[in-house]
Structure 1
Amino acid sequence: MTKITICELDHKDATEAEYEAFTILSNQIKVEELPDEPPLLVEDIKTELQNFPESLFIKSWVGWIDDTAQFASNGVVWFTNDKENTHAIHFLIRTIPAYRRHGLGRQMLQMVVNSAREKGRTLMITSTNGRVPAGEAFMKRLGAERALENRSSQLNLADVDMSLIERWQSGVNDSKFALGFWDGPYPDEHIEAIAELTNMTNNSAPRDNLSLNDFHKTPAQLREEEYEILRSGAQRWTAYIVDRETGAFAGFTQVLWHPNRPEIVGQDGTGVFPSFRGKGLGRWLKAATVDRILRERPEAKSVRTGNAYSNAAMLRINDELGFKPCNSICTWQVETEKAAAYLAESEQQDTPGLLTE
């Protein structure tokens, strides 16, 4: 009989065997969610797990397959120390295909509920991947609410319309606006303005039915996140637009990639202040970043981004540029006590060949 032992994982001080097992599990899940991406390396996982920001509360559990060096499942909870959303806790439960429908999800959910109660968090939030139907099925059994639907999109760089890129870059009044790039860390002299841009972008993005309040990252929190990203080995370009007359920032976007996976570039954080919208600045930012990737990152094959289905303005720009839907991500929410009631009511199933403790 296969036995699964569930225990807490110390991110910063795990054993080498635990980091290796975590990498194997992550890659087994990744094959389902992102089948065309290269596998993660142990060194990447180890660096990520050891360098979460200090402002982030995070706790994780794993299910060891006894007498093996593998994990069958992983559960994690996290939240930041912001003052605006002290009611919410985020969680993720992952189980490899061979061990699904054996009760491991419920075991991990119990850990999540216990942690949420301990921290006084009344709302639990997670996401599921459209390529993994088991996640959505689990959320439906739990009675969770579909709160936000997101579309993942991919731009194949070989198919980019360069005439469009040129038109979008030449269609803005560059006597009034200037576009530039920051490579790597944000400059100290602009960190306050960057925090303002980041908060505007995050809080103006659609949340649909997601029960979260506007939140405001401080420059110190941005630096913490930046340190985590760059410490992992990832590289970042941030494109920005400034009003030449006033010096005010009008908008920005950023692209990131990892040297171990140079074929895929991620893009996020695209935003233009409301007072500067309707001038083609969003298209300029998008076109400028794609143009630079094509010129300076020849190993890159695609750019990926994600937007809420309700974010019509950004989806329109991405579609015009050539992005195509490649996946869907659903964000779910459920009250902590509703999840606890589900666990209490769920009958314990005797699953042949599997024993957990």
Structure 2
Amino acid sequence: MKKPYSIKEFDPITAEEQELFKLFELLDVTFREMEKDDPLPTNEFRLKNFRHKEPTFDDFWWLVWEDNKVRGFCILTIRNQSNVSYEENKHVAYVQIRIQKDHRRNGLGLKLVKKVIQKSKEIGVIAALQNTTAYESGYAFSEKLNGILAMESTTNRCRFANIDWNLMEEWKKQGQVRSKKDERSLKWFEKCPEDIIEEFCNVYTETMNQQPLGEIETRAIITPESRRITEQEFAKLGYIWHSVITREKNGAISGITDMTYIPDRPYRIEQELTGVKNEYRGKGLGKWLKSEMLHFIHKKYPNAKYISTGNADSNAAMLSINTRMGFKPHQQRKTYKFNLIEIEKRIAEIESKN
């Protein structure tokens, strides 16, 4: 006999705390399924983040209830019209589905996707859905729905205790010697200086989109406006965003790396982008930037245990640098994309056979 599940719309911004705490109980279970060693996020940390509204995206939530407990959830995320890449990327929405392990294979995933399709039709501009998952069950479900594998990536971790600091010191010195000869300099900041923000955003966009992105349709667009919004939102959440850039003799920005520290999760550092403009490659800038940032972060946050970063499996150049730094694979991820019309047809086909 099937369990009496119900699926209800949900808004984490306005929900009662007790309702959120029931969702957090599920998140604890699914977190432990993937993370065996990290401490569970606190309810205080989660409350702060779940009550926060990202101004350029809109989320639509559904919770799966059974026995007054949350057994699963689904989030549909879309860009809103204040997003700088709305016109270019408005047709793509992002879907996240999580169901407690012992409640899977009960048809809940299909029911949630049907909710997503219905909402996407109401919104009117969505033509494609994209889902990134690290769960084996997520791979199987996406493939069952004939999802197209758009990209394979890996979350890699570098533990400070395992870093070859002699090699990092060598990279740092090589960068300093070469840059003294070439009259190249470093500039550090948390808030991007106004006098370089336009060029910085152009270089950030360019180098971010140089990464192998497989069959993913959307491309990043970073503008001074969107950078300032992100800085403001990070500040509201207490995140600290460190950036360092290389500047050439003529003042041009040639390379970037940035990392984020979240005081509520002091054991980890998030490596964001490392990028070097094409015309400045082959000069060791990526290694110099990373080694300088690594020394800085280790000194500033001595209690941090590791750095986490994500890389496309096809990004051989960055994987080579990261491997030599001491990064090791932690979690495999796959990104699937779905045509809205085709996924609806596929669900109808599956249901007709049941």
TM-based fold match above 0.5: yes
Q: Does the 8 Å CA contact 1:85/1:215 hold for their aligned counterparts?
A: no
Taking structure 1 as reference, are residues 95 and 143 closer, same or farther at Cα in structure 2, changes over 3 Å only? Answer: same
Q: What CA distance in whole angstroms lies between the structure 2 residues aligned with 1:36 and 1:237? A: 26
1:355 alignment counterpart: none
Amino acid at match of 1:158: A
C-alpha contact 1:23 1:41 (8 A) present in aligned 2: no
CA distance in 1, matches of 2:306, 2:220: 31
2:101 is aligned to 97
8 Å CA contact retained: 1:151, 1:308? yes
Query: Deviation string for 1:85-107 (max 9, x for gaps)?
Result: 22211111111112111111111
The aligned residue for residue 245 of structure 2 is 240
Tell me if 1:145 matches 2:148. yes
- Cα deviations across residues 193-212 of structure 1 (Å, max 9, x unaligned)? 23212211221111112233
Q: Deviations over 1:84-134 (max 9, x none)?
A: 1222111111111121111111111111111222222111100110xx211
Q: Does 1:23 align with 2:24?
A: yes
Shift of 1:138: 0.4
State the one-letter code of the partner of 1:233.
Answer: G
Q: Secondary structure at the match of 1:181?
A: strand
Residue matched to 1:47:
48
Mean CA deviation greater in 315-324 or 19-28? 19-28
Cα distance in 2, alignment partners of residues 18 and 229 from structure 1: 25
2:76 and 2:35 map into 1 onto residues whose CA distance is 22
Q: Which runs of 5+ in 1 are unaligned?
A: 351-357
Are the equivalent residues in 2 in contact too, given 1:103–1:349 (CA < 8 A)?
Answer: no
Per the alignment, residue 353 of structure 1 pairs with: none
Scaled by the length of structure 2, what TM-score is found?
Answer: 0.91
Q: Deviations over 1:221-255 (max 9, x none)?
A: 22222333332222221122112x22221111111
- Looking at structure 2, the residues matched to 231 and 198 of structure 1 have their Cα atoms a distance apart, in angstroms, of 23
- Could you tell which deviates more after superposition, 307-316 or 73-82? 73-82
Q: Counterpart of 1:161 in structure 2: which amino acid?
A: D
- Aligned positions, number: 343
Contact 1:87 1:121 survives alignment (8 Å)? yes
Which stretches of structure 1, 4 residues or more, deviate above 4 A after TM superposition? Answer: none
2:351 is matched with 347
Gaps of 5+ in 2: none
Candidates 203, 216, 228, aligned match of 1:223 = 228
Compare relative contact order (CA 8 Å, sep 6+) and give the higher one, 1 or 2. 1
Q: Displacement of 1:349 after TM fit?
A: 9.9
Q: 1:12 matched to which residue of 2?
A: 13
Alignment of 1:1-357 (within 5 A): 2-66=3-67, 68=68, 70-80=69-79, 81=83, 82=85, 83-119=87-123, 120-129=125-134, 132-172=135-175, 173-175=178-180, 176-183=183-190, 185-212=191-218, 214-243=219-248, 245-347=249-351
Contact kept, 8 Å, 1:179 with 1:240, in 2: the verdict is yes
Q: Counterparts of 2:126 and 2:314 in 1: how far apart (Å)?
A: 28
C-alpha change, 1:12 and 1:30, in structure 2 (3 Å) is same
Q: Distance in 2 between matches of 1:202 and 1:18?
A: 38
Q: TM-score, normalised by structure 1?
A: 0.90
Q: 2: distance between equivalents of 1:268 and 1:59?
A: 26
Structure 1 residues 3 and 232: CA distance shift in structure 2, 3 A: farther
CA 1:78/1:46 → structure 2, altered by over 3 Å: closer, same or farther?
Answer: same
Matched AA of 1:96: Q
Amino acid in structure 1 at the alignment position of 2:186: L
Post-superposition shift, 1:348?
Answer: 8.0
Cα separation, 2, equivalents of 1:79 and 1:312: 31
1:29-73 per-residue CA deviation (whole Å, 9 max, x = no partner) reads 21122322211222222222232322212211111224x3x3111
